[in-house]
Amino acid sequence: MSKPLHKLSATEVVALTRSGKLSVEDAKALIARVQERDPVVKGWAHFDPEIVLASARALDKIPTEKRGPLHGVAVGVKDVIYTKDFPTQQFSPIYKDDHPKLDASCILTLRASGALIFGKTHTTEFATCQKGPPTSNPHDPKRSPGGSSSGSGAVVGDFQVPLALGTQTGGSTIRPASYNGIFALKPTWNAISREGLKMYSITCDTLGLYSRDVKDLDLLTEVFRLKDDVPPPAAPLDLTKAKFGFVKSHVWPKAQPSVISAWETAKELLVAAGAEVEEVDLPTDFDNLGIWHRNILHMEGQAAFLGDYLSTPEQLDPWVTKHVVNDTATTRKEQLESYDNIARLRPVIDSIAAKYTALITPSVTDEAPVLEEPLRFTGDASFNLMWTVLHLPVVNVPGFVGPNGMPIGLSLVSPRYTEQALLHTVRQVEKVFAKGGWKLE
Amino acid sequence: MSKPLHKLSATEVVALTRSGKLSVEDAKALIARVQERDPVVKGWAHFDPEIVLASARALDKIPTEKRGPLHGVAVGVKDVIYTKDFPTQQFSPIYKDDHPKLDASCILTLRASGALIFGKTHTTEFATCQKGPPTSNPHDPKRSPGGSSSGSGAVVGDFQVPLALGTQTGGSTIRPASYNGIFALKPTWNAISREGLKMYSITCDTLGLYSRDVKDLDLLTEVFRLKDDVPPPAAPLDLTKAKFGFVKSHVWPKAQPSVISAWETAKELLVAAGAEVEEVDLPTDFDNLGIWHRNILHMEGQAAFLGDYLSTPEQLDPWVTKHVVNDTATTRKEQLESYDNIARLRPVIDSIAAKYTALITPSVTDEAPVLEEPLRFTGDASFNLMWTVLHLPVVNVPGFVGPNGMPIGLSLVSPRYTEQALLHTVRQVEKVFAKGGWKLE
């Protein structure tokens, strides 16, 4: 191996393990990496090297012909996702040290595919709330790794594991990807089962995937069987035949100079690569998506957290409580109109997106914010909300750098259930964006 | 007490416990009832009197001023819903004796309200599948109690507990209610959180509530905070000012003479009570709801059961497996068109329903079917599917009798998030339907 283990992608680990050059137990190099870096990054809510090593040894005993497509790959798991071998604490005092002996559906799939479940990564309380966990951005510990998938984004960005699971209800997968300079796929809503995750908004909660290499996202889409009706061609995308729709959306006024600069650079680089780019003005109805998204989260959060509120109200963050007590007096009528209007727009945005190789939109408003105690605010999700509630797949593609040297990514978006085509596009676009100045190392 | 404990409604138990005439530990009379009847009805997948009694004693120790609105009421829980104190076995060999230490969101709410979690009731495998569990209909053990909430329907109908939780993805709450001669409320989708339940179809899965008394459903709506925007008037519904829309729907050809007779009797009784009735022809688009519902279940089941399929394929019922392997080659396009078309019809059916005091539609095609081994088919859910996927609240109101002396109920339906108004209507309609010949005793 020319590279140290912690620098390997999942795809590389799989290949080396398959050829016998690597054992799963070699993951102790990753354990060492965690032990070295966790005092700074603080990405893990629970990490138990003994259990990881025991799992690794068990995986090493599986005969070659019975090994799965992720055999031996270490995966970090956001701490709102139930795992049999580790506690699931939700960054909530209510669930401190709580350990339901349950594997979420996605964990069953990962285990059956040979993954090495590596530990639980920090989240905001129940993947809600503005208040961040202790995690820092690996590229600047003074800054936020984003949230709510704070730990998952940070430990992948910090080369502690090649893959991690996050979730997204607003911008909780894509925003940390941008802040940590890595890839993330937020698939179509429910394309991966969200069973076995603490629920916030049933309409929005989506399992998300982190990696440092787009090929690893391909691997994960195979594992989770995300299949387009029409698979993309085997040949790489020819950028001179590609057309990208740049969507500013109603949130554009929130874009800071760092993001505007990335946006302009992306356009120039794509044009230089021979692609066509055009700005897409969405119909004015789409301007309401922010408020509709908010109505849905508020009212679905009311149902989701009622049980915790009635059981242990004093241990809930006020951000959670306000849903249950309906502090804004949101009505069922508003909730239903939000559902119905958004549902009406889903096929509309599918049609718009289908006219382009991909839509491109900001992942964030700015570089990762500087952490301020005690809130440790995880940043602004404004650019992510509409795509979450519209259920479209989104990939954060890193490539750009802000004035503070922090990474900035852009979101590529495609119609519902076209993850394969979207990743096919990303494989070429990432090479173009890589000229934007960001290099993860 | 004039009535034996097992004959009491939840509302009566609450009142007697509040006035000190009953202790929670008196629930041992229900335990005796279970022990007497379970050899015939076989409604329980797990029943542990010691744990129930320990919980009862703990509830008795709660000071009066801290008691919840369901203090001391025994509740049966369908065995797809996680409970900390009992195993959750899903009627699946994979989960035999499995015991995640987790309370579903609805269980947290029930416990915080003082409910006595009484045990786990039989279900079909993962609340999917045609194959029934060992449970029999309490009114004729040769017949099915319905499914998939087989045990919950049967133990409430058999006076073993006053309340039980079910779930509905097709007709799994309403159909057993009709077969067992009891009330059931399938609320608006996600009005009660479905977190902590094995998932089948995220778009359709709905927590359902069983009782023998409509007042008990009112109590449960309070507990779960199902609040209409406009609460119903305090005064009882004046049936001479009521107008009911009788909806045959595209499924009507499946209605057997027993149901047609109940239907005609219901109309006559309502008219005799001074109400207006009219037949409602739904727009032809609604004829597609059966196939759209099927597409959604099929494709969402694919995501839901992937983890189990990859882990233990040989232990899955073929009914479950066919989803994962997509035996019908259903496309994402079909799935998305199903989503979008149904979403378009939801506000349409809300508007139609809002023109009536309630819509009335069959709950079942016939009386409970005779059980045949080895399938133990739980009956035909055709009349329930469209209301489930449209997300409207439905109450089964018992009252009628088939040629074999078995109960037959009808469904009352109202717009989304109008559970309080619907139950306000049911309180009068049940008195009218009670002349239909069915008496639970």
CB contacts of B229 in chain A (<8 Å) are 331-333
Chain A from 111 to 130: CB within 8 A of any B CB? 111-113
Contact between B88 and B98 (Cβ < 8 Å): yes
Q: Could you tell me the CA-to-CA distances from A41 to A5, A93, B234 in Å, in that order?
A: 19, 22, 58
What does R_g of chain A's alpha carbons equal in angstroms? 20
Structure confidence at residue B130 as a pLDDT band (50, 70, 90)? confident
Q: Which residues of chain A have a pLDDT value below 50?
A: none
CB contact under 8 A, A346 and B343: yes
The reply to whether A148 belongs to the active site is: yes
Q: Other C-beta atoms within 10 Å of B267: how many?
A: 17
Please tell me which residue in A42, A55, A78, A249 is annotated as part of the active site.
Answer: A78
Q: Could you tell me the CA-to-CA distances from B130 to B90, B126, B411 in Å, in that order?
A: 14, 11, 22
| Candidates A306, A314, A338, A419, partner chain B, best to mutate (most B CBs within 10 A) | A306
The reply to whether B172 belongs to the active site is: yes
B105 touches chain A (CB under 8 A): yes
Query: Which residue in B179, B168, B171 sits closest to B43, CA to CA?
Result: B179
Q: Which tokens hold the place of B412?
A: 């009352």
Out of A107, A193, A228, closest to residue B303 by CB: A193
**Predicted pLDDT of residue B74:** 98
Domains, chain B, with CATH or none? 1-441 (3.90.1300.10)
* Residue B70: CA count within 13 A, CB half-sphere: 28
Residue B429, H or E segment:
helix B419-433
The span from the CA of A140 to the CA of A126, in Å, is: 25
Burial class of residue B61 in the structure, from the number of CB atoms within 10 Å of its CB (0-12 exposed, 13-18 middle, 19+ buried): exposed
Q: How far apart are the first and last CA of chain B?
A: 17
DSSP H helical ranges for A114-213: 150-157, 174-180
The b/e string for A11-44 (b: 16+ C-beta within 10 A; e otherwise) is bbbbebbeeeebebbbbeebbebbeebbeebbbb
The yes/no answer to whether this complex scores an ipTM above 0.95 is yes
Residue A74, H or E segment:
strand A74-78
CB contacts of A302 in chain B (<8 Å) are 225
Looking up tokens 């066509």 gives A276
A338 touches chain B (CB under 8 A): no
Task: Give the residue from chain A lying closest to B206, CA to CA.
Answer: A202
A341 touches chain B (CB under 8 A): no
Contacts for A142 with CB less than 8 Å, ≥ 6 apart: A136, A370, A371
Q: Which tokens hold the place of B312?
A: 């233990």
CA angle A12, A14, A17 (to 5 degrees): 105
- Rounded to the nearest angstrom, the gap between the alpha carbon of residue A163 and the centroid of all alpha carbons in its chain is 11
Out of A300, A340, A416, closest to residue B336 by CB: A416
CB contacts of B195 in chain A (<8 Å) are 198-199, 304
The span from the CA of A414 to the CA of A430, in Å, is: 16
CB contact under 8 A, A108 and B307: yes
* Residue B122: CA count within 13 A, CB half-sphere: 24
Percent of chain B at pLDDT exceeding 70: 100
Query: Which residue in A151, A157, A285, A149 sits closest to A205, CA to CA?
Result: A149
Q: What is the mean pLDDT of residues B53-81?
A: 97
* Eight-class DSSP state of A194: -
A93 touches chain B (CB under 8 A): no
Task: Give the residue from chain B lying closest to A207, CA to CA.
Answer: B303
The span from the CA of B300 to the CA of A236, in Å, is: 31
Out of A199, A307, A344, closest to residue B344 by CB: A344
Q: What is the mean pLDDT of residues B100-109?
A: 98
Out of B102, B303, B304, closest to residue A102 by CB: B102
B389 touches chain A (CB under 8 A): no
Between strands A163-168 and B116-121, the pairing is unpaired
**Helix-helix angle A289-311:A382-390, to 10 degrees:** 80
Query: How close B43 gets to chain A, by Cα (Å)?
Result: 25
Query: Which residue in A262, A229, A228 sits closest to A402, CA to CA?
Result: A262
Give the bridge partners for B168, in sequence order. B206
Task: Give the residue from chain B lying closest to A104, CA to CA.
Answer: B307
Q: Could you tell me the CA-to-CA distances from B22 to A53, B14, B28 in Å, in that order?
A: 55, 9, 12
In the predicted structure, residue B1 carries a pLDDT above the cut 60: no
Burial class of residue A365 in the structure, from the number of CB atoms within 10 Å of its CB (0-12 exposed, 13-18 middle, 19+ buried): buried
Torsion of CA B122, B127, B128, B134, to 10 degrees: 0
Chain B from 25 to 44: CB within 8 A of any A CB? none
Q: What is the mean pLDDT of residues B129-147?
A: 96
Please tell me which residue in B55, B172, B211, B258 is annotated as part of the active site.
Answer: B172
CB contact under 8 A, B303 and A191: yes
Query: How close B202 gets to chain A, by Cα (Å)?
Result: 8
| Candidates B70, B75, B117, B195, partner chain A, best to mutate (most A CBs within 10 A) | B195
A66 touches chain B (CB under 8 A): no
Between strands B74-78 and B44-46, the pairing is unpaired
The span from the CA of B276 to the CA of B360, in Å, is: 12
CB contact under 8 A, A100 and B105: no
Contacts for A58 with CB less than 8 Å, ≥ 6 apart: none
A229 touches chain B (CB under 8 A): yes
The reply to whether A254 belongs to the active site is: no
**Predicted pLDDT of residue A172:** 98
**Predicted pLDDT of residue A204:** 98
> For chain A, what's the residue count?
441
The span from the CA of A109 to the CA of B132, in Å, is: 27
Please tell me which residue in A144, A148, A201, A382 is annotated as part of the active site.
Answer: A148
